[in-house]
Structure 1
Amino acid sequence: MSITVRRDGLHGTQHTLRIRDHQITVDAAEAAGGHDAGPQPHDLYDASLGACKALTVLVYAQRKNIPVEDIEVVVARDDSEERKGVYRLNTTLRVTGALSEEQRQELLRVAGKCPLHRLMTEVRTEIETRLV
């Protein structure tokens, strides 16, 4: 699978991100010279963690017949020390349904093991960029 990002027009910072049959507009914030016409790359990075946690918890709950009604994950970014090598993402998980405290703790544990959480914290990512 490949993801394509292509500039929209000749002016401004807006781009179109294509993943399979999906399109997302991405842009820089106004403070960075953009028009804030879509999420910034950091937003997508952070959102991927929240989405992964939500989907992981839901699929796990369905497999284990845990009566989850609603799931909300909130991701808060602290990038104040990013240039020093520290990028903090604080997540909160809200799960509703007729759940015991044991089930709630089990779902919290599962959220901490979602594939993106592990990718962001346990895996070394290697990136190669070529000019074509």
Structure 2
Amino acid sequence: MTIELRRNLPAELAQHLQIRSHELVTDATLAEGGDDAGPSPHDLYDAALGACKAVTVMWYARKKGIPVDEIKTQVERDDSQERAGVYKLATKLQIKGALTDAQLQELHTVAQKCPVHKLMSTVTTEITTDVERLA
């Protein structure tokens, strides 16, 4: 799969992001010199974790017949030590439904195993970058 970004003119830093048929704008915050026209790259990274946890829990609950009526997911970022190599994300899932304590614990276990959580915490990601002229 290819994700494509292109400068979102006339903005200084904003990028038009396209993933399959989905489009959005990503930008830097005002404090970072952007126009805050959309979520920042860090916001998207953090949101990927929250979205993955919510989707994984909902998928699992549906598969197992666990009665989940609503799910609210929050991600709190602590980037105060990022330059020292520590980036902290705290997630909280609030789940509504006629759940037993055992089912709620089961969903907690599932949330800990979402694919993006694994990517962020246990997988080595190798990145290559090519830079070339645009004709």
TM-score band (shorter)? over 0.9
Runs of 4+ aligned structure 1 residues displaced above 6 Å come to none
Pairs aligned (count):
132
CA distance in 2, matches of 1:40, 1:55: 22
Residue aligning to 2:112: 112
Counterpart code for 1:121: S
Show structure 1 runs of 5+ residues with no match. none
What secondary structure sits across from 1:32 in the alignment? coil
The 5 A counterparts of 1:1-132 are 1-132=1-132
Q: Does the 8 A contact of 2:11 with 2:35 survive in 1?
A: no
In structure 2, the CA distance between the partners of 1:130 and 1:105, relative to structure 1 (3 Å rule), is: same
Q: Does the 8 A contact of 2:8 with 2:25 survive in 1?
A: no
CA distance in 2, matches of 1:11, 1:29: 12
CA distance in 1, matches of 2:118, 2:86: 17
CA distance in 2, matches of 1:19, 1:11: 20
| CA drift at 1:120 | 0.4
What secondary structure sits across from 1:63 in the alignment? helix
CA distance in 2, matches of 1:10, 1:99: 50
Q: Does the 8 A contact of 2:29 with 2:36 survive in 1?
A: yes
| CA drift at 1:71 | 0.7
Report the aligned-residue RMSD: 0.8
Counterpart code for 2:39: P
| CA drift at 1:8 | 1.4
Counterpart code for 2:130: R
| CA drift at 1:10 | 5.0
Identical residues among aligned pairs (%): 55
Show structure 2 runs of 5+ residues with no match. none
Deviations for 1:76-108, whole angstroms, at most 9, x for unmatched residues? Answer: 000000000000000001111000000000001
What secondary structure sits across from 1:31 in the alignment? coil
Q: Does the 8 A contact of 2:27 with 2:36 survive in 1?
A: yes
